[in-house]
Structure formats: structure tokens, C-alpha cells
A = this chain, B = another copy of it.
């Protein structure tokens, strides 16, 4: 274990965790990963977390990132959004909220919805499933993707028939918009 940049002195999300009760040993790696996921609202990928974690723990490995994310998820401390062939994104579950996921660029956004509580109960009663506090995910297009897609579709229609559901991946979005579908 090499360079370990002094971590911020202000209170960190990982301080709030009762590690012993959760059944996990408290390590710098786990603290950094949890803090990264909990403190940013960008729903980062494992790769992004890896890059940023290295700024604090220079020799943390990608394997540890994945291992830690999986464990934190299993303990219910964070939530994962699977992304098909593309990387998963993670969310620090601090309070109950729902999600929007863009089917074009994979962006995940949070939203608070009071009304969903009743809906969960209804669904649970009708199906026998346990819906607890797990998120409800709406799928659709974020504004940039909707705009881009509309442009593409119009161009296609001017060229001739076909392409009713033309898709277009994200062109820019260098950092966190990996592209899901």
C-alpha cells in the first residue's frame, strides 16, 4: 500500500456507517468507495470510481473497486443499475427515491415521488412480490437525447421511408455518459 493522500477532515458519508454491525471490516478502500458513491449524485461507473479513488489511494486496484461495490450492494448500502454490455452505474441510497434512466445515453437521474408509495403497495398486493424500498425506474429519453433523436428522425424521413425508431448514441459526454442502448 503506497501513497494515501490525506482524506478530507470534514465528515464523510462512510463515518455514518456502523461497520461492525454491517458485518464488514473498516478499510480505507471501502471508505473511499462508499464516500465516492454517496457524495456524488452522478451515478458513477466502476471505472469512474476507480479513477477517482486512486487520487486518494494511489494503488487501489480495479478488482477491489468491483469487489467492494458488490459487497456494499449486497449489504444494501448502495444500489446498482445494470447496463447490459455497458458498465453498471451506482447510487448511494440515502433515502427512498425513484429513478429515471435514459435509454439512449444511460444517464440516471433521481426523482422524489410521493405517489409511488401507494403504487408500490398496490403492485405488491397484486403480485405477491416484496417491493420494500427498492427503486422504481422510469425509462425514457433525457432532454439532450430526445432532441438529438428528433433531429435524426427528421433527417431520415426527409431521405425516405423507414427508420421509425432510429437510435443514436451519445457523441460527446466524455466523462460519465457511457451509453447503454
Contacts and interface: CB of A to CB of B under 8 A. Distances in A.
Interface stretch (A5-13, A51-59, A108-116): A108-116
Contacts of A84: 80, 82-83, 88
Contact of A161 (B21, B74, B162, B181): B21
Contacts of A33: none
A130 B126 CA distance: 28
Instruction: Report the copy number of this chain in the oligomer.
Output: 2
Contacts of A74: 165-167, 181
Contact of A23 (B77, B146, B162): B162
Given A180-B82, A181-B80, A140 B146 contact: no
Contact of A119 (B83, B103, B115, B163): B115
A128 B140 contact: no
Interface in A88-124: 88, 100, 102-103, 109, 111, 113, 115-116, 119-120, 122-124
Interface in A46-88: 73-77, 80, 82-84, 86, 88
B139 A134 contact: yes
A176 interface: no
A31 B106 CA distance: 29
A122 to B, nearest CB: 7
